[in-house]
């Protein structure tokens, strides 16, 4: 079974690129997306059994990804991954303390991000 990913990203160009790259490079299926905090929290909490990984940007069209992380009800097997252009040490610490499982910089850590997703996908297959 493919790893099911939900993207929380408000930039349509990045969203399209990210969805295509993930599906091409890893055994994943992007099952949906949202660009606002409210929409992301509503969908992810209403569909708790429908996703395996939520990839969350921090700055959204409305609200922010940190609040998404804080308000998610998830199982232990579901992962939250932050992918942002604002990778300050303080933001990394805030996100990890709020419940994120991983934190990556969009500009310098895309290889590490795809490796993480690839490994989660392989783990999911076991």
Look at residue 59 in the predicted model and tell me its pLDDT: 95
Using DSSP, state whether 76 is helix, strand or coil.
coil
pTM: 0.96
Look at residue 27 in the predicted model and tell me its pLDDT: 87
Query: What is the pLDDT of the chain when averaged over all its residues?
Result: 95
Q: Are 80 and 69 in contact (CB under 8 A)?
A: yes
pLDDT at 22 over 90: yes
Where do the domains of the chain lie? 3-125
- pLDDT tier at 124, thresholds 50, 70, 90: confident
Report the pLDDT averaged over residues 81-95.
96
Residues in the chain, how many? 126
- pLDDT tier at 87, thresholds 50, 70, 90: very high
- pLDDT tier at 123, thresholds 50, 70, 90: confident
Look at residue 122 in the predicted model and tell me its pLDDT: 87
Q: What region, left, alpha or beta, does residue 43 occupy, with left being phi > 0 and alpha being psi -120 to 50 degrees?
A: alpha
Look at residue 55 in the predicted model and tell me its pLDDT: 98
Look at residue 1 in the predicted model and tell me its pLDDT: 79
Query: What CATH topology corresponds to 3-125?
Result: Rossmann fold (3.40.50)
Secondary structure tally for the chain: helices H, strands E: 5, 5
Look at residue 8 in the predicted model and tell me its pLDDT: 98
Q: How far is the C-alpha of 36 from the C-alpha of 41, rounded, in Å?
A: 9
Beta-carbon contacts of residue 76 (< 8 Å; ≥ 6 apart)? none
Report the pLDDT averaged over residues 67-79.
94
């Amino acid at each position: 079974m493919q790893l099911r990913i939900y993207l929380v990203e408000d930039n349509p160009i990045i969203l399209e690129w990210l969805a295509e790259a993930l599906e091409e490079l890893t055994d994943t299926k992007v099952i949906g997306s949202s660009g606002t905090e409210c929409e992301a929290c509503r969908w992810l909490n209403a569909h708790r059994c429908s996703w395996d990984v939520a990839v969350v940007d921090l700055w959204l069209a409305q609200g922010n990804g940190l609040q998404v992380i804080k308000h998610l009800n998830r199982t232990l097997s579901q992962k939250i991954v932050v992918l942002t252009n604002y990778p300050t040490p303080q933001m990394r610490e805030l996100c990890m303390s709020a419940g994120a499982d991983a934190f990556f910089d969009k500009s310098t850590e895309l290889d590490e991000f795809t490796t993480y997703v690839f490994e989660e996908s392989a783990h999911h297959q076991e």
